[in-house]
Amino acid sequence: MSGPSTYQPQNAFLKWFESRLPIMGLVHSSFVAYPTPKNLNYWWTFGGILAFMLGVQIITGIVLVMHYTPHVDMAFNSVEHIMRDVNYGWLLRYLHSNGASMFFIAVYIHMFRGLYYGSYKEPREVLWILGVIIYLLMMATGFLGYTLPWGQMSFWGATVITNFFSAIPLVGESVVTWLWGGYSVGNPTLQRFFSLHYLLPFVIAGVVVLHIWALHMVGQNNPTGVDPQTDKDTVPFSPHATLKDGFMMVCFCIVYAWFVFYVPNYLGHADNYIPANPAVTPTHIVPEWYYLPFYAILRAIPNKLLGVIALFGSIGILAFLPWLDTSRVRSANYRPLFRQFFWIFIAVTVGLGWLGSKPAEGGYVIAARILTFYYFAHFFIILPVLGWVEKTKPLPNSISESILTSKRVTG
Amino acid sequence: MSSAEPTRRDFLYIATGTAGAVGAAAVAWPLVSQMNPDASTIAAGAPIEVDLAPVAEGQVIKVFWRSKPIFIGHRSKKEIEEAQKVDVATLPDPQPDSARVKQGHDQWLVLIGICTHLGCIPLAHQGEYDGFFCPCHGSQYDSSGRIRRGPAPANLAVPPYEFVSDTKIRIG
């Protein structure tokens, strides 16, 4: 993985350039010759898809900023101006708003892949933690961006989320005033949220570079969880992974395009087409779908401070996953008991997401409390215990062996 | 190794490459087009009508059309005569006065008030040619708005306009 590049340019100009800035060698060793496990399935294509979506969001975002006005009196109208007057403005806006949803769909699939195949385990702990950091930055960016159209949901979502910090003992109120830049969410808030929303994607890009660097340091995981032993276990990244990633990107874009062109407002909330009114709170404030599970967890806890702690804790706990899961076997393909708990965990998070969209009343609250308890129990109780008691299936000796002995190949 | 006949792989590469190129162009076009003037800007640039009745002889007024300053001057007989008597061949940007006014309305001078040098707004009734003087770099225009001296390369432009009545014009 490390060591001098195998890239040898033939062209005289390229040789001259390469000896001064070996960027082509870097690209060659990272994305052309890079040895990739040859048994990667399509769940491994979402990293590339995420990088692509980050690019899409940045490009559409920069272009949208050419027409947007970050002032409380003009923001909502400027977004309508983009939708109605700007050439292809409707397309750029829908690409950006649905792009955010697609970005989160991809990141959840990417994370669940990591959970299933044990991609967070040794030696990939730092890689995983960098991923958690990227996820947190994405959530912050998504929240900040959603406030910008200055609709009812923008304003009240901003009010609710910033009010989280008032739960901090002693300094809470001062922190909130500092965040607002005033006595409530207002123009100073909108303007600074705009600045930070423009900033954070580039911070994400930087952490993504670290994430890919950490990945290339240790190499990719694969569906067996067994490290490549020989050259026979790997193939060069190009053309195999580039084309597999490219194909999946196209399929992903078909789904993306279906949202953008046919149901562009399906994942949004109609109340955000009402200009922000500081005097009237909408009856059902809900965040965007990708925050719903955590919203359910927040509301399940009856205490204000503990609810906020549970909310941030439910995301933060992911960073400790490499040490909470005590199993020495990586892939759930060889952990039959863990596999069942994995699917239960997926059902629990989807259930929490659904509950997050419901009003916090009656049976919904009880269900949310049960599922919240289970969510934390999965990390604190189930994962550590499973590692000790589980009987795992025997691992193949190598990736090549696993392919040759698989039922698909024989018979 | 490569056969004389194109292989299936060659076909796939070319077909995929072409589809990719078309896709890339389709993606790039909206990103480029969005920087062009949008519908509200175009609507704001619609023609305007200006009433000439309040403009006294010798007076030059300024209106805005498409965010550009438009000079509307009611020329005196002296100014018209001076403009028409000039030998066109001696001008840096040769153009007869008749080409710069509407027939039958040669007392009305309608010009885009932007110096053709680097874009400053010239001052009316100044300079040696009884016309306009640009203070930025010293360009001098005559009573027909034609460049006579100084760094400006061309005469002051005439915007598209027409007389809807004897006392009203529509610019644009």
A-chain CB neighbours of B34 within 8 Å are 63, 66-67, 86-89, 92
Question: What is the DSSP code string of chain B?
Answer: ---SSPPHHHHHHHHHHHHHHHHHHHHHHHHHHTTS--HHHHHHTS-EEEE-TT--TT-EEEEEETTEEEEEEE--HHHHHHHHHS-GGGSSS---GGGGS-TT-TTEEEEE-S-TTTSPPPEEEETTTTEEE-TTT--EE-TTS-EEESS--SPPPPPPEEEEETTEEEE-
Q: What is the mean pLDDT of chain B?
A: 93
Cα separation values, A9 from A30, A161, A252, A306, Å: 16, 53, 35, 60
* Closest chain A residue to B44, measured at CA: A85
> Tens-of-pLDDT digits for all 411 residues of chain A?
445 566 778 889 999 999 999 999 999 999 999 999 999 999 999 999 999 999 999 999 999 999 999 999 999 999 999 999 999 999 999 999 999 999 999 999 999 999 999 999 999 999 999 999 999 999 999 999 999 999 999 999 999 999 999 999 999 999 999 999 999 999 999 999 999 999 999 999 999 999 999 999 999 999 999 999 999 999 999 999 999 999 999 999 999 999 999 999 999 999 999 999 999 999 888 999 999 999 999 999 999 999 999 999 999 999 999 999 999 999 999 999 999 999 999 999 999 999 999 998 999 999 999 999 999 999 999 999 999 999 999 999 999 988 888 765 544
Quote the DSSP letter at residue A381.
I
pLDDT of residue A372: 97
Please state, in angstroms and rounded to a whole number, the distance separating the CA atoms of residues B67 and B141. Answer: 22
Residue A145: CB atoms within 10 Å: 24
Helix (H) or strand (E) holding A36: strand A35-37
Side-chain-side CA neighbours of A318 within 13 Å: the count stands at 21
pLDDT of residue A334: 95
User: Do A84 and B39 make contact, defined as CB atoms within 8 angstroms?
Assistant: yes
Compute the distance between CA of residue A352 and CA of residue A314 in angstroms, rounded to an integer: 12
| Partners of residue A66 in chain B, C-beta under 8 Å | 34-35
Instruction: Pick B30's closest partner by Cβ from A67, A81, A88.
Output: A88
The C-alpha angle A156, A159, A162, rounded to 5 degrees, equals 145
For residue A42, what are its two tokens? Answer: 């399509």
Among B12, B13, B38, B41, the residue to mutate for chain A (most A Cβ within 10 A): B38
Instruction: For residue A371, give every residue at least 6 positions away whose Cβ sits within 8 Å of its Cβ, in sequence order, or none.
Output: A296, A300, A348, A351, A352, A355
User: Is B105 among the catalytic positions?
Assistant: no
Q: According to the model, what pLDDT value does residue A8 have?
A: 79
CB contact under 8 A, A87 and B31: no
Instruction: Name every residue whose Cβ is closer than 8 Å to that of residue A316 and which is 6 or more positions away in sequence.
Output: A132
Task: Report pTM.
Answer: 0.90
**Residue whose C-alpha is closest to residue A132's, from A214, A67, A244:** A214
Q: Write out the residues of chain B at the interface with chain A, using a CB-CB cutoff of 8 A.
A: 30-31, 33-36, 38-41
This complex has an ipTM of 0.82
Catalytic site residue from B105, B117, B125, B137: B137
Pair A296, A355: CB distance under 8 Å: yes
Strand partners, B132: B124, B141
Instruction: For residue A239, give the chain B residue with the closest CA.
Output: B13
| Whether the bond into A239 is cis, omega within 30 of 0 | yes
User: Which of A63, A86, A91 lies closest to B38 in CB terms?
Assistant: A86
- In this predicted structure, what is the pLDDT of residue B6? 86
Nearest Cα to Cα of residue A116 among A293, A338, A300: A338
DSSP conformational letter for A171: T
Give chain A positions within 8 Å (CB) of B38: 67, 81, 85-87, 89
Q: Which residue of B has its CA nearest to A78?
A: B40
Find chain B residues with C-beta within 8 A of A89's C-beta: 34, 38
Looking at this protein, which amino acid is placed at residue A236? P
User: Which residues of chain B are modeled with pLDDT < 50?
Assistant: none
> What pLDDT, in 10s, does the model give residues B50-73?
999 999 999 999 999 998 999 999
Helix (H, G, I), strand (E, B) or coil at A230: coil
The pLDDT of residue A407: 64
Residue A400's identity, in one-letter code, is S
Return d(Cα B31, Cα A100) in angstroms, integer.
18
Question: In this predicted structure, what is the pLDDT of residue B2?
Answer: 54
Chain B's closest residue to A253, CA to CA, is B23
Count CB pairs under 8 A between chains A and B.
Answer: 32
